[in-house]
Structure 1
């Protein structure tokens, strides 16, 4: 499985991608985040699904950027990538189906080009159709989607800073890593500041963020202990004396 998260806020974009690759009983590490800077702008993408599909589409995309005129708007790069997904589908889908494998590449692409008024973030489906990720729900996860959503839904707003978005994104990754055995470090991060036309990349190893994971877990436990409990007093009152004693110890 995969954890790739794209976030769009007023000041820019944040992308996070784990690097765990699972194939049967084997686990390896490989980059799922790719970045490109051209004369007309900057773009990054992250993928989930079969690694072979990602590598083939990425190779075609890089070749197209190098050989053709650079796009002046991000949606044109998205259309190019989508066309290449369809091309790979024509080449490989029949053989994958025959082997019992799915053509399941999903892609998050973000960036800004010279004719774009602002930065943008898109989700590209395996069929090559796409949607823009906007301020209403300013993030999208591909891969293992369930575990990171609660912290994002409760905290993230489009008006938040890039700094805040990166913090929340790392907590969403940590929540997923704790609960999903096939998502893990190293964690690749890309940050794009609106109007900069350049990307900042960084890789976090587990030791780099271990103290953040511990801090977050301790704050969650402290928050539960501090939670107002008058709404459960009636239940607590009905417990047997031994149960009340045990209940009291667990709250110490």
Structure 2
């Protein structure tokens, strides 16, 4: 399984993905799920993948090859003029790969399914974030939905819903994502460290800051232990249920 999140902040974007893949409890591996294309002064694009590993690797490979081969550069992820065009290109490529592998043409066979987050900024436009479905269509993050998730989303979503603020700093956003990922990791063996992170400052059109958080990272462990302790303390402060009053609850 996988967990990836993209946050849309007023000052930019933060992306985080885990690196665990598994095909059963006895076949667990580490694979990168975050990829990027940067042209200084022109664009910074980040892509994260979830789903069938062969499908996602084929999509990324095609996007890479078509950005290098002269005859395939139009369209390519480095030639697209807007982030909407990038999302359309990625969606078309995903649909193409699934179609090539599936037995029934354009139908997105569940065995080859994948979802993709792609976000960034191209010169002349705003920073934008999209979630692309196996059929090639997509939705865009907005003020009402300022973050998007793919993969094992349910365990880490509550903290994002309660604590996200588009005015928060990059430092606070990384902390928020680490809490979200820690909650997911604790609940699902299919998600685990290392975690890949990219931070993009809006309107810089330069390479985003990128780093990896390993399992022995002291800050991650401080966040993990601190969040668990804070939850237990908050739970302890809530009033206990009174079984003696159940008769009046009818």
Q: Among residues 195, 203, 206, which one is paired with 2:212 in the alignment?
A: 203
CA distance in 2, matches of 1:10, 1:137: 13
SS in 2 for 1:46: strand
Aligned to 2:21: 21
> Which structure has the greater CA radius of gyration?
1
- CA displacement 1:181-224 (0-9 Å, x = unmatched): 11000001111110112211110011111121011111111111
- CA displacement 1:90-145 (0-9 Å, x = unmatched): 21111899xx85231100001000121x2110000100001111121211111101
TM-score (norm 1): 0.86
SS in 2 for 1:102: helix
SS in 1 for 2:102: helix
CA distance in 2, matches of 1:236, 1:211: 40
- CA displacement 1:15-55 (0-9 Å, x = unmatched): 11000010132001010000110252010110110000011
Query: 2:223 aligned with 1:224, yes or no?
Result: no
CA distance in 2, matches of 1:159, 1:13: 12
CA distance in 2, matches of 1:2, 1:30: 10
More helix by share: 1
CA distance in 2, matches of 1:237, 1:74: 58
Query: 2:106 aligned with 1:105, yes or no?
Result: no
Query: 2:87 aligned with 1:78, yes or no?
Result: yes
CA distance in 1, matches of 2:102, 2:197: 31
Aligned to 1:53: 55
8 Å CA contact 2:6–2:129 kept in 1: the answer is yes
User: Over the residues paired in the alignment, what is the CA RMSD in angstroms?
Assistant: 2.1
8 Å CA contact 1:41–1:72 kept in 2: the answer is no
Specify every segment of 5 or more residues in structure 2 that has no aligned partner in the other structure, as ranges: none
Aligned to 1:214: 225
Aligned to 1:246: none
8 Å CA contact 2:99–2:105 kept in 1: the answer is no
CA distance in 2, matches of 1:52, 1:178: 27
Aligned to 1:11: 11
SS in 2 for 1:150: helix
CA distance in 2, matches of 1:187, 1:96: 35
SS in 2 for 1:110: strand
Deviates more, 1:38-47 or 1:66-75: 66-75
Aligned to 2:148: 140
CA distance in 2, matches of 1:31, 1:3: 12
Aligned to 1:165: 173
> How many correspondences in the alignment?
232
TM-score (norm 2): 0.87
CA distance in 2, matches of 1:200, 1:41: 14
